[in-house]
Structure 1
Amino acid sequence: MSLPPPGENQTYCTVSVLEAGFVDVPMAQIVDTAPADEMSRFPCLAFLLKHSSRPDTFVFDLGTRKDWETALAPSLVAMVKKWYAVEVPQDVVDSLKKGGLEPADVTHACVSHVHFDHQGDPRVFTSATIIAGAGSRALLTPGYPADPNAHFHSDLFPERRTRYVSPDDPEMVSIGPFAKALDYYGDGSLYIVDAPGHIPGHLSLLARTSPDGAWVFLAADAAHDWRLLTGEAGVADSAHFGCAHRDKATATKTIAQIRALAELPRVRVMLSHDVPWYDKNKGGGAFWPGSLESF
């Protein structure tokens, strides 16, 4: 197993981290080794990618919106308040503005999945093509308010400028351990990866970060904790806390694929809720207008 070698004049992406809120999470929902009273403050990380030869700005994940208590569907707000505490001192829009970008400057915005701490507010990105997994459609149909108990608004994604990526798309290729990925620009610089198990339509991102063979994998919620990737813990699934993934067996397979990818040379794996990385790097040069160092 390997990743495609770089070609002549290989294009790549510069990747910057964006802060997008915090969520306090009971860890017994996440790993099977956690005691019932263990809590962890998860950073919600989003990412800005800039193509090396195109004037494109690509945002992966939109984080948590500041007005989530009034903007989200009532049943979703109730669920969030049952399990979590949420704080959004800085959202994706604030993070972009720190480096001089407005939402209207974004060319592409990919939402890994529709959970509240990733969906943000796609409509403020008025010039962007919105990218989402095809499986998300069923979660928005009929959606709120037609279904008052639905968790997600039916019009979350702007209909005329949303591209739904499906594992059945004929453009899909295999890359590394993943069977289904879309070479988004067609030049080997950025792949949108079908990463199933967490919730229908879940996507991850694999991007080249140098012209000579470095990569970063943005896992989103395919894994919430590094112990799942190291094998120190398994996916939690209890009567009280439930499971963080809709399909535990498939999620476990996806985690195994990410583990295999992380063992390849010059591959960095980033989780959306990467607590150890955030604690070490918060406020540092990896955040926009700075960027991640390439491996």
Structure 2
Amino acid sequence: MLKAPFAAARVAAASLTILIAGCSGMPAQRAGTAERLYILNCGEGEAGDVSRWSPGVNVGQPMPFVDNCYLIKHAQGWLLWDTGVSDAIAAMPGGLAPADPKAVHWRRPKTLASQLAQLGVAPSDLRYVAISHAHPDHIGNVELFPQTMLLVQKAEYTWPGANNAPRFKPGHPVTTLEGDKDVFGDGSVTLIATPGHTPGHQSLLVKLPGSGAVLLSGDAIHFKSNWDYRRVPSMNVDKDQTLASMQRIADLLAQYHAQLWINHDKAQRDTLKLAPAFYD
């Protein structure tokens, strides 16, 4: 048992911590880590002209692309980051050819549904589906999870699609965000606002007990050379926002000594282990 003076000092210190947190407007939080991170194959393809993503560089050159989804296990529940191109493409023998020959011709070697089943995870087991942005190669399977809470930036959710159509199905449970979001309240999984590619693009910072911090770029960065030379794709909605988001990512990488995982970069993806293997 603590002697009275020491016990009183400990209580006073705890009270001071709570008081400081309250005065700053920030909740007192404990540092936490996620349990596991799985990389899922959510599409394979080839861009007809990679200069669509790197203006003026490698004009007319094809380039392989990959499309990753990430499944995160946390004590409070499962989170799926992005959903890839539609599982329906798996049934198309030649894949899905784009209307623009410069864009990506997608194939689906494995469905998202089958990869989750292999891990023993049912769609209803997911607590959250978080979306980097609303392009079809990232939201292709959102409706495999019709009852799962969708986490998306408000600027992305309200961004009109073709003919002003909604990009997400009305009625799907959704939490719209305005800025960063500590998903589980312990600092282990944080949505990071990184607009520029689209109006409400976001990235994801995941902290793992053994592997350390990993920042999942979404499409804030498409491949390593764009990151190295700070190149901005021609289709991005705002170049200045894109460059500011790249700098924010660089600052976070330095702050947390984090790895940068670039979603579409096949060369990098081929060095990583895919599900059912995992990072912890």
TM-superposition CA deviations, 1:215-249 (whole Å, max 9, x none)? 11111000001122223x6224xxxxxx0311111
Kept in 1, the 8 Å contact 2:203–2:215? The answer is yes
Kept in 2, the 8 Å contact 1:96–1:288? The answer is no
Aligned to 1:16: 38
Length-normalised TM-score, structure 1: 0.74
Q: Give the residue type in structure 1 aligned to 2:82.
A: D
* 1:209 CA drift (Å): 0.9
Stretch of structure 1 that moved more, 12-21 or 154-163: 154-163
Q: Which of 58, 62, 80 does residue 59 from structure 1 map onto?
A: 80
* 1:31 and 2:15 aligned: no
CA distance in 1, matches of 2:144, 2:204: 22
Aligned to 2:114: 94
TM-superposition CA deviations, 1:12-45 (whole Å, max 9, x none)? 3421101101232221012246221211111100
Normalized per residue, the structure richer in helix is: 2
Q: Which of 162, 169, 172 does residue 157 from structure 1 map onto?
A: 169
Kept in 2, the 8 Å contact 1:64–1:91? The answer is no
Aligned to 2:267: 276
CA distance in 1, matches of 2:99, 2:204: 28
Q: Aligned pairs, how many?
A: 247
* 1:205 CA drift (Å): 0.7
Kept in 1, the 8 Å contact 2:159–2:167? The answer is no
Provide closer, same or farther for how the CA distance between residues 228 and 160 of structure 1 changes in structure 2, counting only shifts above 3 A: closer
* SS of aligned partner of 1:104: helix
Unaligned runs of 5+ residues in structure 2 are: 1-28, 91-96
* 1:138 CA drift (Å): 3.0
Kept in 2, the 8 Å contact 1:105–1:127? The answer is no
CA distance in 2, matches of 1:226, 1:21: 19
Aligned to 1:199: 198
Aligned to 2:7: none
For the pair shown, the structure with the greater C-alpha radius of gyration is: 2
CA distance in 1, matches of 2:119, 2:80: 14
Kept in 1, the 8 Å contact 2:89–2:107? The answer is no
Q: Give the residue type in structure 2 aligned to 1:234.
A: R
* 1:125 and 2:148 aligned: no
Kept in 1, the 8 Å contact 2:133–2:202? The answer is yes
Q: CA RMSD in A?
A: 2.8
* 1:289 and 2:276 aligned: yes
Q: Give the residue type in structure 1 aligned to 2:140.
A: G
* 1:133 CA drift (Å): 1.5
Unaligned runs of 5+ residues in structure 1 are: 1-6, 70-76, 168-180, 237-242
Kept in 1, the 8 Å contact 2:215–2:261? The answer is yes
CA distance in 1, matches of 2:227, 2:101: 29
Q: Give the residue type in structure 1 aligned to 2:275.
A: W
* 1:268 CA drift (Å): 1.2
* Higher RCO (CA 8 Å, separation ≥ 6 residues): 1
CA distance in 1, matches of 2:101, 2:231: 26
Q: Which of 209, 213, 216 does residue 215 from structure 1 map onto?
A: 213
Q: Give the residue type in structure 1 aligned to 2:148.
A: A
Kept in 2, the 8 Å contact 1:224–1:274? The answer is yes
Aligned to 1:176: none
Q: Give the residue type in structure 2 aligned to 1:165.
A: L
TM-superposition CA deviations, 1:225-277 (whole Å, max 9, x none)? 1122223x6224xxxxxx03111111011112223333456411111112222
CA distance in 1, matches of 2:101, 2:134: 17
Kept in 2, the 8 Å contact 1:229–1:259? The answer is no
